[in-house]
Amino acid sequence: MTRLKSAHGGNTREAAALMGLTADQLLDFSANINPLGMPESLKQAIVAQLACAERYPDVEYLQLHQALAAHHGVPAAWVLAGNGETESIFTLVQGLQPRRAMVVAPGFAEYRRALETVECAIDTFFLREEDGWQLTDRLLPALTAELDCLFLCTPNNPTGLLPDRALLTAIAERCRALNIALILDEAFLDFLPDEPGFIPQLAHSPHVWVLRSLTKFYAIPGLRLGYLLNSDEQAVARLRQRQMPWAINAFAALAGEVVLNDLAYQQATYRWLREEGARFYQALGEIAGLKVYPGRANYLFLRCERPDVELQYALLEKQILIRSCANYPGLDARYFRVAIRSREENQRLLTALRQALA
Ligand SMILES: Cc1ncc(COP(=O)(O)O)c(C=O)c1O
């Protein structure tokens, strides 16, 4: 069970209050944020351009859209930035106005919340423990012409698992044949430098929408920046028309223009995740009573085999917050998600886990 009500990781306020602590006394493994912190290049740019807060941002965010588009090698008319990817999810759903949608469980909670704002009927496709929570071709026959859209998260949150590329192509083809808008959430794909994702195929797939977030990789969840991409320029233009003006603050817009050029930060992140991710995965797997899944992103999905241990609370007593997945549809109180953090921080969690499960 979890004693916390939050539907998201990162709610250190609630967890700290439960323990009589302040939020900064907790080591937070529940939000999946790059431990390298905000890029130095961005800090310097913000300080140098503090005065941009005194002006309205360009209401069309032309430079930002051009920077995002150049990064992916697509026309700027394919891109619409949002106040975090979460806002892009809501903008897209409100623009598409689906009557019937499918989401995958376990999955990110905001697709469902966005769909509820347009009173959309929601079908849930449940992943299975016996498949290791991996998406399989069982999904294909579940896609029918009654559906208007399908949300898929690649890699999925909370599992970190990436669907097989051939399967994703088959899903996209079936969606095209059935006139289903396929919405691919690639919020964590930047952490996988060898995975191109779906953007290179967008030109031939106007029924596919890709969602991206810069908040996790560049450690700016408080600044907020995400975007959507689609190759139907008129469809994107319609969403642009609907979006609240000045949705993105000037510093977030600046961030989009700066961070994508910070190759040194990107390389340092790849190096950290390659080395520390592998080490942490192996060490977690060696702890008796824990099963760790082979996630590809900057977090790992765990199952605790010890029903007698209230794991999240036991770690909170050591001032460590992990994400309980008990409130994800399709999961139960055995499941947890932990971010991959710095070596020292991961070491602290490993020690605390060994003690809690001893
Ligand atoms: C799978 C997934 N998509 C999208 C988001 C939203 O990211 P943003 O901070 O850009 O709104 C999150 C945040 O946790 C997420 O986990």
Give the domains, in start order, of the chain with CATH numbers.
12-30+271-356 (3.90.1150.10), 40-261 (3.40.640.10)
Ligand 1 proximity of 157 Cβ (cutoff 6 Å): yes
User: How many C-beta atoms lie closer than 10 Å to residue 154's C-beta?
Assistant: 24
Q: Is residue 210 within a helix (H) or strand (E), and if so which, with residue range?
A: strand 208-213
pLDDT of residue 3: 78
CA of 354 to the centre of ligand 1 (A): 30
Structure tokens at 81: 């930035």
Is 143:121 a contact under the CB 8 Å cutoff? no
pLDDT tens by residue, 230-271: 999 999 999 999 999 999 999 999 999 999 999 999 999 999
Is 184:208 a contact under the CB 8 Å cutoff? yes
Structure tokens at 6: 């939050």
Distance of alpha carbon 300 from alpha carbon 296, whole angstroms: 8
Q: Which of 30, 90, 110 to mutate to test the pocket of ligand 1 (most atoms within 8 A of CB)?
A: 110
Query: How do the residues of the chain divide into helix, strand and coil, expressed in percent and rounded to 5?
Result: 40, 15, 40
CA of 85 to the centre of ligand 1 (A): 6
Q: Which of 11, 111, 215 to mutate to test the pocket of ligand 1 (most atoms within 8 A of CB)?
A: 215
Residue with tokens 């208007």: 148
Q: Is the dihedral of CA 11, 17, 20, 24 positive or negative?
A: positive
Ligand 1 proximity of 213 Cβ (cutoff 6 Å): yes
Cβ neighbours for 14, distance < 8 A, ≥ 6 positions apart:
4, 5, 6
Distance of alpha carbon 306 from alpha carbon 234, whole angstroms: 53
CA of 86 to the centre of ligand 1 (A): 6
CA of 353 to the centre of ligand 1 (A): 27
Is 40:338 a contact under the CB 8 Å cutoff? no
Which residues of the chain are under the pLDDT cut of 70?
Answer: 1, 7
Secondary structure (DSSP) of 113-177: HHHHHTT-EEEEEEP-GGGTT---TTHHHH--TT-SEEEEESS-TTT-----HHHHHHHHHHHHH
pLDDT tens by residue, 117-131: 999 999 999 999 999
pLDDT of residue 1: 55
pLDDT of residue 7: 64
Separate counts of helices (H) and strands (E) for the chain: 12, 13
Ligand 1 proximity of 106 Cβ (cutoff 6 Å): no
Structure tokens at 270: 């790849």
pLDDT of residue 18: 87
Structure tokens at 116: 């509820």
pLDDT of residue 5: 74
Burial label, 198 (beta-carbon count in 10 A; 0-12, 13-18, 19+) = buried
CA of 341 to the centre of ligand 1 (A): 18
Is 150:175 a contact under the CB 8 Å cutoff? yes
Q: Which of 157, 189, 223 to mutate to test the pocket of ligand 1 (most atoms within 8 A of CB)?
A: 157
